[in-house]
Amino acid sequence: MTSAAKPLVIVTRKLPDAVEVRMKELFNTRLNEADKPLSRVELIEAFKTATVIVSTVTDKLDAEVLKLAGPEMKLIANFGTGVDNIDLAAARAKNIIVTNTPGVLTEDTADMTMALILAVPRRLAEGERVLRAGKWRGWSPTWMLGRRIWGKRLGIVGMGRIGAAVARRARGFGLAVHYHNRKPAPEALVAELEATYWESLDQMLRHVDIVSVNCPHTPATFHLLSRRRLQLMQPHAYIVNTSRGEVIDEGALAELLAAGKIAGAGLDVFEQEPSVNPRLLKLENVVLLPHMGSSTIEGRRDMGEKVIINIKSLIDGHNPPDRVIETMF
């Protein structure tokens, strides 16, 4: 493929201005000025006419959509790290390359994860709500007591880039790092973090004080934190999720939190976004955020740059650097 072909690039959501300006300079680009998710009909029409689709997590690109892709459709350049919104097998069947934006969101997401690890045990959101409501009556030695995190055990589910970045932050706060993966992390990383590997997720959940979910959402990780596994957690333990809502059985989590069988949760992602389980909204021991883990100006800019590099590589006849081969836990 040559640049003279001037392929049509359709962007499904509003991106940072600088990214959109650069894309229009380089490509024949159709933008989404309204910044509303495309309807299913609009997605199908886009796939019939475009050479490149710049998608986001809000676009559900399943087999039905992909099978209707036109002959010019060559690349899905996902604006994000996770690709659970894309049927990768259906894309392969249509010879459509899928790319993502790995690495650039690692530190931002790890920052948000650590913020929730601090906020939930120390009841920061509860205290802020009391103060804003005008209900604070002054300091008391027994009021709004949280839990110390220094010296506690953090169990990381998924020791990839983000999991490792969380672990580095956690070490600075005096947490002992434990983790579960399909296989052990590299020896150098384990030595750096003084991390303990648990082959059994069930056993790790029984023994840690805080659980951080940092694995991708795949068919293998759907409800990985099932009701049965959540019930293994100690009643004083906390859970934080900045990965994908589908990894946790949200209904079961809400019930266990309400019953005091799990001490608290910090959630940045949900199973049915943008809807949130109404039972979670009623709980004081939960910090809820609207999928903000990667929401930094720098991160969004860097994501856009990666998308542009992937598109330009394809147009210039090269293999895009961030091609997704498979997603695993």
Write out the two tokens for 154.
């953090």
Radius of gyration of the chain measured on its C-alpha atoms: 21
Instruction: Answer yes or no: 273 catalytic.
Output: yes
- The rounded distance, in Å, linking the Cα atoms of 281 and 247 is 19
Report whether 266 contacts 238 (CB < 8 A). yes
Of the listed 20, 45, 72, 273, which one is catalytic? 273
Residue 302, C-beta contacts closer than 8 angstroms, at least 6 positions apart: 101, 104, 105
Type of residue numbered 286: V
For residue 302, what are the β-bridge partners?
A: none
- The rounded distance, in Å, linking the Cα atoms of 184 and 162 is 16
What are the strands of the beta sheet with 286-288, ordered from one edge? 196-197, 176-180, 153-157, 210-213, 238-241, 264-267, 286-288
Of the listed 122, 147, 223, 291, which one is catalytic? 291
Of the listed 169, 180, 244, 300, which one is catalytic? 244
Active site residues: 244, 273, 291
